[in-house]
Structure 1
Amino acid sequence: MLVFALKRFVVGILVMLAVSTITFTLTNVAADPARTIAGEGASAADVEAIREAYGFDRPIIVRYGEWLGGALRADLGDSYRQRRPVVDVVMERLPVTMSLGGLAFAIAILAAIPLGIIAGLRPNSWIDRASLTFALIGQAMPTFWFALLGIVVFSVTLKWLPVSGSSSLSHFVLPAVVLAYYATPTLMRLTRAGMIEVMQSDYIRTAKAKGLRTGKIVLKHALRNAILPLVSVAAVQFGFMLGGSVVVETIFAMRGVGYLAWESITYSDLPVVQAIVLTIAAIYVVLTLAADIMNAWLDPRLRSN
């Protein structure tokens, strides 16, 4: 198990290195950092002075090496817009995004697994068809449209929930439901497919022949094997909720990392953009590593890979 975890850890480090390289290269090639700092009305002499002062005239590989060394020390430079350390800027917004993503993930899991189990135990029934219809609508509906619809119904018309902000728990309910509804169909369909496959297995038929109760068969024997694919996908979906919260946080004006990303892109605050991409990538790697280890614990056969 330790060797398996170490192999996955090395792969995660390589992924992070690749992400950091691509992110730094694209952000420095897509825009001139010196002109971004100087502003649109700056003269060529001012831009050149800033380029020399910040070292932007040096080869990109040298600047990348310095930036990577700083990243290893949790020093990602200063924000062009806010004139303070990027790490502080991102860490201020991260709790909002983590809270939103965590609540959305909990809602998705609590909705998807029971629906998937029920649909998998009764394939082709009205419950199964209703669940698949729910999944189809969730995957086809644009996130921004569902968010705006929720605001119109629950905030403007019924006045049950606030329109925007992130100062209380009530501000998180509607955005979390919007994020969760996009992830729920995928998790539900995986659970359903896993249950249908597992319930047709020989060991399940043997358990039924022994007279075990259906609830015990499902919870103790079937569910453990049925959720193996779900673990990996759930980790990716949670990462998507954190990284893909830009639209939701912008619509609901929640001051999280997603909204910060939109602001930083709008104002060409490249160090903050780089830090956000690196942070989300690190979260993805950690979640994937945790999912691989959990899958290996649930299914020892995976440890030989």
Structure 2
Amino acid sequence: MLGFILKRLGLALLVALTVSFISFCLLYLSGDPATAIAGEGASAQDIQTIREFYGFDRPMLVQYADWLWNAAHFNFGQSYYFKLPVADLISSRLGVTMHLGLTAIVFALLVAVPLGVLAAKRPNSLTDKLALFISVAGQAMPSFWFALVLISVFSIDLGWLPASGAKTWQHFILPTIVLGYYAMPAIMRLTRAGMLEVLSSDYIRTARAKGSSEWRVLFTHALRNAIIPVVSLSAVQMGFMLGGSIVVESVFALPGAGLLAWESITRNDLPTVQALILLFSMFYIVFTLLADIMNAWLDPRMRTS
């Protein structure tokens, strides 16, 4: 198991370096950062002064090496717009995004996995059709439209929940439902497909022949094998929720890292954008690594494959 973890960890570090280099290059190839900082109407002399001040006139590989060294020491420079250290700026916003992402994935799993199991237990039943309806609706419904509907009903009409802000846990209920509902269809379909395949296996028939209860067969014997691809998918969905919650945070005015990313992009705040891209990439890499380790624990065959 230790060898498997070390191998996956080395691969994760390699992916992280590759992603950081590509994202760094793409940001510079998209345009001259000195021109973006100077703004419209700036003279050529002003742009050249800014280029020399921030070191944009150096070779790109030298700039990347300096940035990577500083990033390894959690020094991402100073925000061009907010005039604050980027590390402090992100740390002040990251808690909201982490809270929202964790509650959303827990909500999605608590609803999607049991519903997928029940749908597989009774194919073509009312439960199965309900699961199919939720899956199709979740994929077809834009998240911003769903968020506006919930705000209109539960905040404006009924007055039960706040529409914006992040002061109390009630402020996270509607954003959690919106963000978690987006991940539910894929998790539910994968759980249903895996359970349908596992329930036709010989060891399931043996467990039933031994007198095991149906709930024990479903959630102890069958779900342990069917849940393996769901773990990998949940890791990807968790990375998306932490890195792609810009729309939800914007609609509900949540001061998180997603909203900070949108603000930084629109204001050409290059150091903040670079740090957030690296951070969001790390989310995907770390959660994928944890999913591989958990799958190897659930299925020992993966350690030697």
Give the partner amino acid of 1:273. Answer: V
How far apart, in 2, do the equivalents of 1:285 and 1:235 lie?
9
Q: CA deviation at 1:38?
A: 2.5
- 1:137-166 Cα distance to aligned partner (Å, 9 max, x none): 111111111111111111111111111111
TM-score after normalising by structure 1: 0.97
| Residue correspondence of structure 1 range 54-133 to structure 2 within 5 A | 54-133=54-133
Give the partner amino acid of 2:220. Answer: K
Q: CA deviation at 1:291?
A: 0.3
Give the partner amino acid of 2:189. Answer: R
- 1:28-83 Cα distance to aligned partner (Å, 9 max, x none): 12132222332323222111111112211111111111111111111111111112
How far apart, in 2, do the equivalents of 1:168 and 1:36 lie?
38
Give the partner amino acid of 1:113. Answer: V
Equivalence for 1:217: 217
Tell me if structure 1 keeps the 8 A contact 2:16–2:285.
Answer: yes
Unaligned runs of 5+ in 2: none
Q: CA deviation at 1:98?
A: 0.3
Tell me if structure 1 keeps the 8 A contact 2:143–2:178.
Answer: yes
How far apart, in 2, do the equivalents of 1:145 and 1:71 lie?
37
Unaligned runs of 5+ in 1: none
How far apart, in 2, do the equivalents of 1:87 and 1:31 lie?
24
Number of equivalences:
305
Q: CA deviation at 1:127?
A: 0.9
Tell me if structure 1 keeps the 8 A contact 2:119–2:131.
Answer: yes
Equivalence for 1:182: 182
Of residues 68-77 and 257-266 in structure 1, the stretch that sits farther from structure 2 once superposed is: 68-77
How far apart, in 2, do the equivalents of 1:136 and 1:53 lie?
53
Tell me if structure 1 keeps the 8 A contact 2:243–2:283.
Answer: no
Equivalence for 1:141: 141
How far apart, in 2, do the equivalents of 1:283 and 1:299 lie?
24
Equivalence for 2:247: 247
How far apart, in 1, do the equivalents of 2:28 and 2:85 lie?
19
How far apart, in 2, do the equivalents of 1:41 and 1:158 lie?
50
**RMSD (CA atoms):** 1.1
Equivalence for 1:300: 300
Give the partner amino acid of 1:142. Answer: P
How far apart, in 1, do the equivalents of 2:302 and 2:62 lie?
41
The 4+ residue runs of structure 1 with deviation greater than 4 A are none
How far apart, in 2, do the equivalents of 1:140 and 1:38 lie?
42
TM-score after normalising by structure 2: 0.97
Equivalence for 1:274: 274
